[in-house]
């Protein structure tokens, strides 16, 4: 009797235990391509992506391509993204595709089908989604993710300065919007005892005490925390316990410029990834 696909939360928890908590962004924006002496063309994207994938394979918990930097090159750029995702899958590297999709009903379901349905060209292990059309707007993606062992990361407390305008606002129940998002993530993630949920949160490492003050730590205690803001945006290892408290062990340290700046040499990139793994290894590892 088949037990279905292994949940994304379990696979992610195991990957962090084995390879550390670094999530390596693959963001081929124009300035980085220039730094690597690559053309700002689909072929430049391809060389950039393949070098990064080779360097990061086996050295990070997951890669996180930013879809926008591929989409700006049209269908040829999207084809490079699809090639990167397929290559990562062949190497056994988890992928979190940063697409920040957000809509309602059948449209959200279609976004989910594009990225979470096995066999589609831009298939990823998990995607980022925006719940700001209402937490229930993420449910079509959550249902498909659960069916196929995929994951979601819901934007909750982002690192941009204007985020609090919406995320700290109170609902009609006097609950911060970010906390409502966290509660919903815990509900739809349905983790087992001691296991990570397959529905995580995006919480910036630069949000100060907001993660705990607004109650996200209690609302979603099993959610993995995809945390931008490390490296170039100013946060470092000290912010893990300061910002996330007892849930620091669930933090996924999202770095793009902080690791890609070591390129273009594959060996240099690999060494940088390994150094960062050691640097951010202070928080408790997942059991």
pLDDT at residue number 48: 98
pLDDT at residue number 1: 40
Residue 280 to residue 270: CA distance in whole angstroms: 16
CATH label of the domain that carries residue 264: 3.20.20.70
Q: What is the pTM of this model?
A: 0.95
Residue 200 is assigned to a structural domain of this protein: yes
pLDDT at residue number 192: 59
How does the average pLDDT of the chain come out, rounded?
94
Residue 137 in this model has a pLDDT that exceeds 70: yes
pLDDT at residue number 191: 64
Residue 58 in this model has a pLDDT that exceeds 90: yes
Residue 180 is assigned to a structural domain of this protein: yes
Residue 20 is assigned to a structural domain of this protein: yes
**233 pLDDT tier (thresholds 50, 70, 90):** confident
Share of the chain above pLDDT 70, in %: 95
Residue 14 is assigned to a structural domain of this protein: yes
Residue 75 is assigned to a structural domain of this protein: yes
The pLDDT tens digits for 25-53 are 999 999 999 999 999 999 999 999 999 99
Count of domains forming the chain = 1
- Residue 146's Cβ-side half-sphere holds a number of Cα atoms within 13 Å equal to 14
> Which residues are known catalytic residues?
100
Residue 1 is assigned to a structural domain of this protein: no
Give the residue numbers spanning the domain of 84. Answer: 8-279
Residue 15 is assigned to a structural domain of this protein: yes
**234 pLDDT tier (thresholds 50, 70, 90):** confident
The pLDDT tens digits for 154-178 are 999 998 989 999 999 999 999 999 9
**116 pLDDT tier (thresholds 50, 70, 90):** very high
* Helix, strand counts (H, E) of the chain: 14, 8
Residues 206-226, mean pLDDT to the nearest whole number: 96
The length of the chain is 287
Do 115 and 75 contact (CB within 8 A), yes or no? no
What SS3 state is found at 61? coil
Residue 285 is assigned to a structural domain of this protein: no
Residues 58-69, mean pLDDT to the nearest whole number: 98
Residue 206 in this model has a pLDDT that exceeds 90: yes
Helix (H) or strand (E) holding 115: helix 105-116
pLDDT at residue number 274: 96
pLDDT at residue number 287: 46
Handedness of CA 38, 40, 41, 42 (dihedral sign): positive
pLDDT at residue number 19: 96
In degrees and rounded to multiples of 5, residue 263 shows phi and psi of: -75, 180
Lowest mean pLDDT of 16-20, 272-276, 282-286, name the range.
282-286
């Amino acid at each position: 009797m088949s037990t279905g696909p292994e949940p994304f939360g379990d696979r992610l928890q195991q990957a962090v235990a084995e390879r550390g908590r670094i999530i390596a962004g693959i963001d081929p924006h124009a300035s980085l391509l220039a730094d690597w002496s690559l053309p700002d063309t689909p072929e430049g994207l391809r060389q950039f992506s393949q070098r990064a994938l080779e360097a990061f394979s086996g050295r990070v918990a997951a890669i996180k391509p930013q879809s926008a930097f591929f989409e700006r090159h049209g269908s040829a750029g999207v084809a490079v993204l699809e090639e990167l995702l397929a290559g990562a899958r062949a190497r056994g590297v988890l992928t979190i595709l940063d697409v920040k999709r957000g809509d309602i009903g059948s449209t959200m379901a279609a976004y989910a089908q594009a990225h979470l349905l096995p066999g589609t060209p831009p298939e990823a292990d998990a995607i980022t989604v925006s719940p700001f059309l209402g937490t229930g707007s993420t449910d079509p993606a959550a249902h498909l993710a659960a069916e196929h062992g995929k994951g979601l990361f819901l934007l909750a407390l982002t690192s941009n300065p204007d985020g609090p305008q919406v995320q700290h606002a109170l609902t009609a129940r006097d609950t911060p919007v970010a906390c409502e998002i966290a509660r919903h993530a815990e509900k739809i993630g349905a983790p087992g005892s001691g296991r990570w949920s397959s529905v995580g949160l995006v919480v910036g490492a630069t949000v100060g005490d907001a993660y705990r003050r607004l109650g996200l730590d209690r609302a979603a205690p099993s959610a993995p925390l995809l945390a931008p803001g490390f490296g170039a945006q100013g946060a470092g290892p000290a912010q893990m316990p300061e910002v996330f408290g007892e849930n620091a062990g669930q933090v996924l340290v999202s770095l793009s410029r902080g690791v890609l700046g070591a390129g273009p040499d594959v060996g240099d990139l690999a060494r940088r990834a390994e150094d960062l793994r050691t640097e951010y290894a202070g928080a408790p590892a997942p059991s």
